[in-house]
């Protein structure tokens, strides 16, 4: 009898170890990591991880609005900046599938006012894949105009542009105005305003019931709207911020940094969407189900078209083994890594990551309204935690 009693504690330990939940450990690790990056009383982030059909992590950190102290959660709406580009690409691909345009169409077909002969060589697919050779030459526009600048101002230098950085289709240079051109093509071909077309043909069919483009005249229509914030002069800060941009022993005096403070914040096709992590999950589901894009178009958009690594023309996402598709970055599978299809976004105080892991049917979203965190180390840590 005594021997049996002695065995019971050992049996309990064995049962505990067998029923240990590794997913709970993963969740705890990610929660601890995000809590350290995004303090409770500062601008922060909504973080979501979806694996298969299940959301396994869904939590908000910090506050959406400095004045109201409203906490961030999965229903907080962020400006997702350049993550918006995949929706512009989807609109173009829809119209191509309907036979209303071709990805091989020259830009000159839609913009005869663009005078240089090279516009006959630049095709829509070059605009979508950041391989057009068109430079971002908007630097001559006064900053006070760019603060409220719209699509027309963003494209204003193109009719008189007389040089390219490289021959179309031969290199990578990430720029925003060419996606604004794509938005204008959507308008010309569909006969609808760009935002109206995307809302009707992409957002709502995908189940994104409240997702919308930023409109300075109707900001109050964005539900649970987060503001973007900075804590220092951004003029000398690099586009890809690191967590040590400011010494930890100095106080962070936060101020709003979105429309009215940042240039070209109001342009739509290159980065104007406000959505939440919860609504972005609906987009993921729609893509998986080929609900808004055909399987062929989705695969084409998420396939490598332009090699981005080591480009002399652009340092945005110029990382090893990196390509651009149509509205997505792609890091193809290697012997050591799984394929990841993703996009980042930086606009004002917003810093965004949306990454898909096809092999695991996984999605990782980090929507932040502050820019002083290291995006790729966090992305890699999440990959390690969950085995993506």
Across 145-177, b (16+ Cβ under 10 Å) vs e yields ebeebebebbbebbeebeebbbebbebbbbbbb
Residue 235: per-residue pLDDT = 58
Flag whether pLDDT at 343 surpasses 50. Answer: yes
Q: Residue 69: pLDDT band by 50, 70, 90 thresholds?
A: very high
Q: In terms of C-beta density within 10 A (0-12 exposed, 13-18 middle, 19 or more buried), how is residue 232 classed?
A: middle
H/E element holding 273?
strand 273-275
Residue 82 CB-half CA count within 13 A: 24
**Is position 212 within any domain?**
yes
Residue 236: per-residue pLDDT = 55
Nearest to 92 by CA among 133, 123, 116: 123
**Is position 4 within any domain?**
no
Q: Residue 15: pLDDT band by 50, 70, 90 thresholds?
A: very low
Q: What are all long-range contacts of 286-293, with beta carbons under 8 Å and residues at least 24 apart?
A: 286/205, 286/206, 286/207, 288/361, 291/205, 291/206, 292/90, 292/94, 292/201, 292/202, 292/205, 292/206, 293/90, 293/93, 293/94
**Is position 178 within any domain?**
yes
Residue 221: per-residue pLDDT = 94
Residue range of the domain that includes 327 = 22-386
Flag whether pLDDT at 19 surpasses 70. Answer: no
H/E element holding 177?
helix 177-190
pLDDT tens figures, 111-124: 999 999 999 999 99
3-state percent helix, strand, coil for the chain, nearest multiple of 5:
35, 15, 50
**Is position 1 within any domain?**
no
**Is position 246 within any domain?**
yes
For residues 341-366, give the mean pLDDT: 97
Please give the backbone phi and psi of residue 221, each rounded to the nearest 5 degrees, phi first.
Answer: -85, -10
CATH classification at residue 148:
3.40.710.10
**Is position 10 within any domain?**
no
- pTM, two decimal places: 0.91
Residue 3: per-residue pLDDT = 42
Residue 131: per-residue pLDDT = 98
Number of domains forming the structure of the chain: 1
pLDDT tens figures, 216-263: 999 999 999 999 999 876 555 555 555 555 555 667 889 999 999 999
**Is position 27 within any domain?**
yes
**Is position 217 within any domain?**
yes
User: What does the block give as tokens for 220?
Assistant: 């109050």
Residue 16: per-residue pLDDT = 38
pLDDT tens figures, 277-310: 999 999 999 999 999 999 999 999 999 999 999 9
Q: Residue 319: pLDDT band by 50, 70, 90 thresholds?
A: confident
Rg of the Cα atoms in the chain = 23
């Amino acid at each position: 009898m005594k021997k049996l009693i002695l065995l019971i504690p050992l049996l309990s330990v064995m049962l505990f170890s067998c029923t240990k939940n590794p997913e709970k450990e993963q969740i705890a690790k990610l929660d601890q990591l995000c809590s350290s990056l995004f303090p409770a009383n500062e601008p922060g982030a909504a973080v979501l991880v979806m694996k298969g059909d299940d959301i396994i992590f869904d939590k908000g950190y910090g506050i959406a609005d400095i004045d109201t102290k409203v906490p961030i959660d999965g229903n907080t709406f962020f400006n997702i900046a350049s993550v918006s580009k995949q929706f512009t690409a989807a609109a173009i691909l829809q119209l191509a599938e309907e036979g209303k345009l071709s990805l091989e169409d020259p830009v000159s077909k839609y913009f005869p006012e663009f005078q240089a002969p090279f516009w006959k060589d630049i095709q829509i697919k070059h605009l979508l894949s950041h391989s057009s050779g068109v430079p971002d030459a908007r630097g001559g526009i006064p900053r006070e105009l760019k603060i409220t600048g719209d699509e027309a101002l963003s494209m204003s230098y193109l009719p008189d542009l007389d040089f390219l950085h490289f021959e179309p289709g031969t290199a990578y240079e990430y720029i925003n105005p060419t996606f604004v051109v794509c938005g204008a093509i959507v308008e010309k071909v569909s006969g609808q305003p760009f935002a109206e077309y995307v809302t009707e043909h992409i957002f709502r069919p995908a189940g994104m019931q409240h997702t919308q483009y930023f409109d300075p005249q109707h900001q109050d229509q964005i539900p649970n709207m987060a503001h973007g914030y900075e804590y220092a002069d951004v003029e000398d800060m690099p586009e890809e911020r690191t967590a040590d941009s400011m010494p930890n022993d100095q106080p962070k005096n936060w101020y709003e940094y979105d429309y009215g403070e940042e240039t070209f914040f109001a342009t739509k096709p290159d980065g104007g969407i406000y959505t939440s992590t919860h609504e972005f999950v609906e987009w993921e589901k729609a893509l998986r189900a080929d609900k808004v894009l055909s399987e062929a178009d989705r695969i084409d958009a998420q396939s490598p078209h332009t090699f981005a690594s080591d480009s002399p023309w652009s340092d945005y996402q110029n990382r090893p083994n990196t390509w651009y598709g149509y509205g997505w970055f792609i890091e193809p599978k290697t012997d050591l890594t799984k394929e990841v299809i993703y996009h980042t976004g930086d606009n004002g105080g917003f810093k965004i990551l949306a990454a898909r892991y096809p092999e695991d049917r996984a999605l990782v979203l980090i929507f932040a309204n502050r820019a002083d965190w290291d995006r790729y180390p966090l992305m890699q840590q999440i990959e390690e935690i969950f085995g993506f």
